[in-house]
Amino acid sequence: MNLQQYIKEYHEGRSDWFIEEVQSVSNQQRVMNVLNLKEYLNGSHKILQKQPYIYNGKEFHPRKIILQYAKTLLNFQVSFLLQNPVTMTGKERIVKEYQKVNKQGKYDRLNYRILDKMLKYGQVFEYVYLDKNTIKSKLIDASEGYPIWNHENEMIAFIQAYMVDGIDYYVVYSEDTVETYNNKGGQLRLTGRYANLSGLPIVFKTVNEVDESTGRSELEDWISILDNMEDLISKYMDTFYKFMDPIAVSIGQQLKGELPNDFVGKGINLDDGGEFRLESNKTDYQTFQTLYKTLLQALLDISQTPAVSLNKTDISNLSEVSIKLLFQLAEIKASINEQYMREGIEQRFERIRKLLEYKGVTFTDEEFNSLGMVFQYALPSSNKEIIENMKALREIGGLSIQTMIEKNPYVNDVQQELMRLKEEK
């Protein structure tokens, strides 16, 4: 099913079909979920909805402690995978051209933003275009993007919809054209039609067990745990301050009159056998500590974050193998995120190849198929040991110069380093 058939079948061939598509129930539910996640990251947590109540005849406003652990965990996942720039590998000529495009389009920064948005909201969209002979990309937020899929789960069109100053704007992407609309003045009108040189936007998304066409945010697995952690620590703080108001207890003779407000530092004379003390409830901090640590450990386990990265584990005199074991879950999670990024970046490579052809730069299939990527995780390791191992392999003829440079932790641009070595020789 192509786009025209889709419009005819689902929208009766109407020219403003994209408005109905954006306003469909499924799309609005997805966008609302994204907006709720944004509100959560901005600090609108469930604990803030806690209402005041009456305590000892007075209105008591409970404490509302917010824990922004979600941002810390997300920043760790993104930085662990993309703290070191992605290294391109392949034939010299194609890598040289793609490195040039990469620098001009600032794609290293873009990759960081893509992974950040994808983990936060489940998906993000990238459109590659040609701007004054320079290849660039723009990101389309998950709350503004509406991909259209046919029965075979193939994307046949894409809509970007957003509002500015009360005016609705629509950008409709098809395989061949890009059309822009707005309703300024109260009536929908076409404001531009352009040739689409690179094709439909690229979808970067995580895995969703319910719907293959959309992603699922990492936050949805963490929010319930974080809500309970915030509720627990807020209640404990309330309890602590309530118990700071002890009750005076006198045993034996009855004290006449009321105790003065400035009682602290004063003395009381009691008859022989009499006793006076201040009684207060004892807080069960061990239970609180156990519950809080259990929730925190569950959060770290589900997010696959090593406790040592958040200063929750004391380490000393550990070998590199032991450190790798501590970061094993983080490596597994990074490898999954790497697959999400690879799938999108490979589509970007195809779009860039198409745009380079318009600039007169062409590549053979062999050259294009040689193009690859190497991700270097931000894993604590001994670079000295890595270099010694590569040196030993090189001496016995088990490693080429190019592979050594690709695996070198100090080199990001392989082709540039090879050219410099040739110049030195």
pLDDT band at 410 (very low <50, low <70, confident <90, very high): confident
13-64 confidence digits (pLDDT tens): 888 899 999 999 999 999 999 999 999 999 999 999 988 888 777 888 888 9
Task: Note the pLDDT of residue 62.
Answer: 87
Contacts (Cβ under 8 Å, ≥6 apart) of 225: 295, 298, 299, 302
Q: What is the pLDDT of residue 29?
A: 93
Alpha carbon distance 75, 335 (integer Å): 16
pLDDT band at 127 (very low <50, low <70, confident <90, very high): very high
Tens digits of per-residue pLDDT, 317-368? Answer: 566 666 777 788 888 999 999 999 999 999 999 999 999 999 889 999 999 9
- pLDDT value of residue 275: 74
Q: If we measure between CA atoms, which residue out of 304, 301, 284, 291 comes closest to residue 231?
A: 291
- HEC sequence for the chain: CCHHHHHHHHHCCCCCHHHHHHCCHHHHHHHHHHHHHHHHHCCCCHHHHCCCEEECCEEECCCCCCCCHHHHHHHHHHHHHHCCCCEEECCHHHHHHHHHHHHHCCHHHHHHHHHHHHHHHCEEEEEEEEECCEEEEEEECCCCEEEEECCCCCEEEEEEEEEECCEEEEEEECCCEEEEEECCCCCCEEEEEEECCCCCCEEEECCCCCCCCCCCCHHHHCHHHHHHHHHHHHHHHHHHHHCCCCEEEEECCCCCCCCCCCCCCCCCCCCCCCEEEEECCCCCHHHHHHHHHHHHHHHHHHCCCCHHHHCCCCCCCCCHHHHHHHCHHHHHHHHHHHHHHHHHHHHHHHHHHHHHHHCCCCCCHHHHHHCEEECCCCCCCCHHHHHHHHHHHHHCCCCCHHHHHHHCCCCCCHHHHHHHHHHHC
CB under 8 Å to 146, separation ≥6 — which residues?
21, 22, 27, 158, 159, 160, 161
Question: Is there a contact between 351 and 136 (Cβ–Cβ < 8 Å)?
Answer: no
pLDDT tens digit string along 133-178?
A: 899 999 999 999 999 998 888 899 999 999 998 899 999 999 999 9
CB 279 within 8 A of CB 249: yes
Query: Out of 117-121, 228-232, 408-412, which region has the weakest mean confidence (pLDDT)?
Result: 408-412
Q: What is the pTM of this model?
A: 0.82
Distance CA 202, CA 267 (A): 79
How high is the mean pLDDT of the chain? 85
